[in-house]
Amino acid sequence: MTRVEVAGVEVSTEHFIGGERAGSDTTFTDISPIDAEPVAEVARGGEREADLAVAAAQEAFPAWGALGTAGRAEVMHRLADLIDANVERLAAVECADMAMLLRSLRARVISRGARNFRAYADLAVAYEERVWESNGTRNRVVRRPSGPAVVITPWNAPFMLSTWKTAPALAAGCTVILKPAEWSPLSCSLLCDLVAEAGFPPGVFNVVQGIGEEIGAALTRHEGVRRISFTGSPETAVHIGTAAARNIVPFTGELGGKGPLLVFADADLEGAARKAAGQYDDAGQVCLAGTRLLVERSVEDAFLELFHRFTDEHVLGDPRDDATTVSPLIHADHLERVEGFVERARANGDEIVRGGRRREDVGPLFYDPTLVIPRSNDSEIVQREVFGPVLTFQTFADEQEAVALANSTRYGLSGIVYTGSEERAERVGRGVRAGTVWVNTFLVRDLTAPFGGVGISGIGREGGDYALDFYSDLKTLQILDGTTA
C-alpha cells in the first residue's frame, strides 16, 4: 500500500474499492496551497477503476439494503464516533491539502462530518411510512434503496461535503462510489480508513481518485449507477446531467452561487458590515457567500466606513496560524481565474475600491480581499461567480429595487438580509429568489431542512428526508381491504 506522511499523519494515496486499497498505472500530483509545493502523487483512476468500483458497489448492495435502517444506523454511528476521535488528524491533513483555516476545521468543520452520519442514520430509523385508506384499499408509501450511487464532491471543505452527501445515501440503503476533487483528495482517503475500522461491509463505501474528465466521466455514464449527486460548477453539471439522462438516472446538483447580501437602513449596521467583511473567510471559496453587497443608499457611507474597518482587521497568512483569517487560494489555476475576473472588471471601467492584486509577499497563492463597484449591474463581475475574495458593492433606493437587484443574476443558491423589521424580513426573505435565505445571520444550518439552489445554482434538494427520498425508490403498496393471509 502506498502511503505518504502529510502534516505528521500517514495517508494512503490509493483508491478504496471493495474494502481494499488499489493502485493505478498512473498518478496525478496533489499540491498544497500553503506553499504551492507537491504533497503526494495520487492514484489516477479511469475506466478500469470505475468498472471495479461500480461492480463492488453492485455486489454489496443487496445485503446492505436488506440490513435495514437500524442495522445501518449502528455502523454509521460507529463511524461518527471514529470521526470525532480523529478530528485532529483529519483537520491537519485537510488544512495541508486544501488550506482551510486549521482552527475552523478543528472547531466545527470536521465534526460536522460526524453530525452528518448520526443525523441521517437517525432520520432513516425514524421514518414513518405514509398510511391511508382509499377506494376500498389500505395504502402505504414504502422507501426502497435505489442502488449504487455516485457522489462527486468539490475541493472546498472536501471532508464535510463528502460526508454530507454520502451519509444519506448510506442511510437509505444505497452503496456509494465517492469521487473527491483532484485538488484536495487526501482527507477523503483518511475517511476510507475510518469506514474500514467502523466495520462497513466491503463494497458499501468506495473511493476512486482522479481527474474529473476521466474517472468522473466514466462513473457518471456507467449503466450500473442508479443515483448521481454532484457539487461543483454549472458547466460541469451540464455534462453530468447529460450522462445521467442517457441512463435515466436521477441527478442532484448544487452548483454554486452569487449570493446577495442586502442591508437596509434599519439594520444593525455594525453587525451587517462585520458579516460582510466575513465573506472573505476561506479566501471567498464558499458557494453560499454573500458576494454582492446591496446597501440602502441612505446608509451607504456609514456602512462602507464600518466595512473597511472590519476588512482591515483581516490577516492573510498560513492557515495553521490562529492569527490568520484569510487563507490562500486552492491552486495556481484558480488564482489566475480570480485575477482574470478582476482585471477584466478593471478594463471594463468597474472601480476597484480596495485590493485587486496578488499578495506574493504573503505566499504564492494569496489574493488581497477585493471590493469592486461595477459600472452597471450587467458587469461580468456582478453576473458570474468568482469564487474568491472578491465582493461587489451596489446601492438601492427602496425595497422593490433591492429585491430586483438580488434576483438579477441567473444564480439562486442563497441570500442574506439585514433588517430591523420583522415584516420586511418576511417580505424580502420570500422575495429573494434562492434556495436558502438567512435574515440577520449566516451559515446557520439545520440538517433536516431542504438545501439546494434555483436557476443555474442547482437541481434537486439535499437535507433531511429530501435527501433520503432522493436515494430511495418510493413504492405505493395497495392492499384490498379484507385481504387475509
Angle formed by the axes of helices 186-198 and 158-172, nearest 10°? 40
Going by C-alpha positions, the residue among 202, 259, 187 that lies closest to residue 9 is: 187
In this structure, are residues 417 and 276 in contact, taking their beta carbons and an 8 Å threshold? no
Calpha distance 103→421 (Å, rounded) = 35
SS3 335: helix
Q: Mark whether 287 is an active-site residue.
A: yes
What is the three-class DSSP state of 227? strand
* Measured torsion, CA atoms of residues 400, 405, 411, 414, in degrees rounded to the nearest 10: -60
Cell of 464: 433531511
Whether the Cβ atoms of residue 179 and residue 209 lie closer than 8 Å to each other? yes
Closest CA to 183 of 213, 164, 159, 158: 158
* β-pairing verdict for 149-152 and 227-231: parallel
- Give the active site residue among 94, 188, 287, 462: 287
Residues 92, 94, 98, 99, CA torsion sign:
negative
301 three-class SS: helix
Contact 393, 373 (CB under 8 A): yes
Read off φ and ψ for residue 375, nearest 5 degrees: -65, -40
Q: Annotated catalytic, 192?
A: no
Question: Which of 177, 199, 198 lies closest to 188, judged by CA?
Answer: 177
Place of cell 466595512: 307
- Catalytic pick from 254, 296, 339, 385? 254
CA angle at 202 for the pair 447 and 50, rounded to the nearest 5°: 85
Direct distance between the N- and C-terminal alpha carbons of the chain, in angstroms, rounded to an integer = 55
Cell of residue 230, nine digits: 454532484
- The rounded distance, in Å, linking the Cα atoms of 336 and 326 is 18
**Active site positions, annotated:** 254, 287
